[in-house]
Structure 1
Amino acid sequence: MGHQEVQEYFDFVLPLVKESGKVILEANDYEIETKEEIYDIVTIYDRKVEDILIKAIKTKYPTHKFIGEEESSAKNYISELTDDPTWIIDPIDGTANFVRSFPITCISIGLTIKKEQVMGIIYNPFMEELYTAIKGQGAFLNGKRLQTSKQTNIQKCVLNYELSLARNDKLREMYLYRFSHLISAIMGIRSMGSAAMGLCYVARGSMDAYQCDGLYPWDAAAGVLIVREAGGAVSDSTAGKEFDLMNPNFIAAASKRLLDQLLAVEKQADDERLAALLVKKANVGCK
C-alpha cells in the first residue's frame, strides 16, 4: 500500500463526506413527538448518508469492503475485518445529540488496508469542523495541523469519560468503579455523547484524554488514527491489552506518559472490582 493509493482514496471520498454533511444539516426542519419518530428520523438520515458514501465508493472501487452501522444492523452482525481495503462508516455519530440539536455530532469514515488504519475523516457540519488524517502524514482540522495538549500529568488532566455507556448492565460496575478512582486522580471530567468527536477533542488539545468502552468499530475507525497522528497515544482501557479496532474499548490520551498513569488508576479500580466480585461469589457459595 503506497501513500499515493491512500491519497487517491482520500481525494475521492472527501467531497462525498462534505456532501453528506449538507444532507445532515437539512435534518433541522423536523418536529418529533414520539420515541419511534426519533429513531425513524435517525435511520432515514443514517441511510441517506450511507447511500451517498457507499454507492459512490462501490461504483468507483467495486472490490472494496464495507463495515457500517446501518449495514450491520440490517444483517444483524458485523462483518469480519479482512486484508482488503475496508471502509468503516458511522453516518451519524452522536445520535442522541443530533436529535436534540446539540451540535456535537458528526460523520465518521475510516479506511483500513491489511487490517491497518490508514485514513480517517470526521466531519461535524454543524460546527464546520473537518478532521482528517492519513497514516504517517499528521492530523488536521480544516487543513491546519493538529497536536494534542501533550499533557503528561494526571492531576492536570481533563478527561472526557463516556458515562452514558454505564446504562449497559454488563459495563456498569466497571464504569462506576473506574469513575470513583479517576475522579479523585484527575482535574476534571466531561461527557459529550460522541465517540468520534471525543477522539477529535483529544487530537486538537481541547481534552487531555477520552475513554469509552463497549463500542463498535465505526466509533473508532477514524478517530483513533486522528489522535495517533496528532501525537497522542491510544490503547485498550484494560491494562496490558492491545487496542482492537473490531472490539474497541479504548482510552486515548495526549501523551503516552498520561495514558500509562490513567491505565494504572484504572487497573487499581479493576482489581478492586474483581476482588469484590470474588468475595460476593464466596459469600453466595457459603449460604
Structure 2
Amino acid sequence: MDKVHEYYDYVLPLIVDAGKALSKVEDIEVEFKDSQVWDLVTIYDRKIEEILIDKIKEKYPTHKFIGEEETDKSKEKPILTDAPTWIIDPIDGTANFVRNMPISCISVGLTIDKEQLLGIVYNPFMDELFTAIKGEGAYLNGKRIRTSGCKDIRKSVLNYEITIARRNDYYYNMYMFRFKHLIKIIQGVRSMGCGVLGLCYVACARTDAYQCDGLYPWDAAAGTLIVREAGGYVIDSSGKDFDLMDPNFLATATKELSDEYLKIERIADEEQLTFSKLNKPFSP
C-alpha cells in the first residue's frame, strides 16, 4: 500500500488546484453531447481531464486512464485491466455547474489489479474534499466520516437520480415503477444531479441510500469506495455484486437497509415486466 499512498500524495494537490481554478470560472459555454439535451459538456470538462491525465502520465508513464471526455471522444467502450488505472470525471454534475449550483465536483479513482484502492472527490464550490484509501476509512476535509447506520427503510432518505428516466423508455419505466413503490415507504427523497456527490452524501450520513442505474465507471470509481470505507454497502441494483464497469448501483448506510430496498425494487421490477408484456405504459 506504500505505492498507493505515494499516488495519493501526488494526485491530491493536482485535484485541489484544478478545483480551485474551476471555482473561479465565470463565463461558461455549454455544448451537448450527441445532441442530447440532458448530457452537457463544457471546455472546462475537457481541460481538467487533459491536465490531470498529462500530469499523472508525466510522473507515471505506464499507468492507464479511463476518462469521461476521452471515452466520449474515442466512442470506444473502456476496458479495465490489471494495470494501475486512473478513472476520472473532470466535472461531475455539469448541469449544476453551468447553473451556478454548488453541487458538482472533480472525481478521481484508482484501481490496481481491477481493485478499487483510492478515491478522491473534491467539490471546490463548498470546499469539501472526500477521500478514501482501501482499508483506511473515509474522510471529509481530513475528518473521519461514517454512514448514518440506518437499517429501517421507513426512516431513510433516498437520493434518486430520476432525471435519468428521460433517456429512453427502458430507464423511464424502471425509474418510475420503482419510485411509485418506494415513495410510499421512505421518509424522504432527494435528486441532486451529481452521482459522485450522491455517493459521498451517503458516506457522510447526509442521506441514507442512493439508487442510480445508467451511469458510467467515472461516476462510481471514487464514490463507491468512499461509501464502503465509511461503513456503507454497495451492490448492483439487480441484487448482483457491484460491477465498476457497469455501475448500476444501490449504495446504502447498511446491508440491512440495502436488503429492504432491494425487496421493494424487485416487486416494482416484476410489476414493470408484467405491464411491458401487456404493452401497457407506466401506471401511477
Q: Which has the larger radius of gyration?
A: 1
Distance of 1:31 and 1:92 partners within structure 2: 13
Distance of 1:212 and 1:64 partners within structure 2: 29
SS in 2 for 1:155: helix
SS in 1 for 2:158: strand
In the alignment, what sits opposite 1:254?
Answer: 253
**Structure 2 unaligned spans of 5+:** none
Query: Partner letter of residue 10 of structure 1?
Result: Y
In the alignment, what sits opposite 1:193?
Answer: 193
- 1:234-273 equivalences in 2 (<5 Å): 234-239=234-239, 241-273=240-272
Matched, 1:224 2:185: no
SS in 2 for 1:130: strand
Displacement of 1:50: 1.2
Contact 1:67–1:78 (8 Å) recurs in 2: no
TM-score, normalised by the number of residues in structure 2: 0.93
Query: Partner letter of residue 11 of structure 2?
Result: V
- 1:134-213 equivalences in 2 (<5 Å): 134-169=133-168, 170-213=170-213
Distance of 1:44 and 1:24 partners within structure 2: 11
Displacement of 1:23: 2.0
Distance of 2:50 and 2:130 partners within structure 1: 22
Distance of 2:119 and 2:31 partners within structure 1: 32
Query: Partner letter of residue 19 of structure 2?
Result: G
Structure 1 residues 126, 270: closer, same or farther in 2, change over 3 A? same
Distance of 1:237 and 1:221 partners within structure 2: 16
SS in 2 for 1:77: coil
Contact 1:232–1:255 (8 Å) recurs in 2: yes
Length, aligned pairs only: 274
Contact 2:4–2:117 (8 Å) recurs in 1: yes
SS in 1 for 2:149: coil
Displacement of 1:77: 1.7
Query: Partner letter of residue 178 of structure 2?
Result: R
Matched, 1:82 2:54: no
TM-score, normalised by the number of residues in structure 1: 0.92
Distance of 1:46 and 1:224 partners within structure 2: 22
Please identify which structure carries the higher helix content: 1
Displacement of 1:235: 0.4
Contact 1:42–1:99 (8 Å) recurs in 2: no
SS in 2 for 1:211: strand
Displacement of 1:43: 2.9
Contact 1:23–1:48 (8 Å) recurs in 2: no
C-alpha offsets along residues 110-159 of structure 1, whole Å, 9 cap, x if unaligned? 00011111000000000000000000000000000010000000000000
In the alignment, what sits opposite 1:278?
Answer: 277
Distance of 2:77 and 2:89 partners within structure 1: 13
Distance of 1:59 and 1:233 partners within structure 2: 36
In the alignment, what sits opposite 2:104?
Answer: 105
Query: Any runs of at least 4 consecutive aligned residues in structure 1 with deviations exceeding 3 A, and if so which?
Result: none
Query: Partner letter of residue 12 of structure 1?
Result: Y
Displacement of 1:279: 2.9
Distance of 1:65 and 1:43 partners within structure 2: 24
Query: Partner letter of residue 20 of structure 2?
Result: K
Distance of 1:118 and 1:220 partners within structure 2: 13
Query: Partner letter of residue 258 of structure 2?
Result: L
Query: Partner letter of residue 146 of structure 2?
Result: Q
Query: Partner letter of residue 14 of structure 1?
Result: L
Matched, 1:60 2:51: no
Structure 1 residues 225, 35: closer, same or farther in 2, change over 3 A? closer
SS in 2 for 1:17: helix
Distance of 1:215 and 1:42 partners within structure 2: 16
Instruction: Point out the more displaced range, 61-70 or 72-81.
Output: 72-81
Distance of 1:120 and 1:81 partners within structure 2: 16
Contact 2:31–2:41 (8 Å) recurs in 1: no
Displacement of 1:35: 6.2
Displacement of 1:31: 6.2
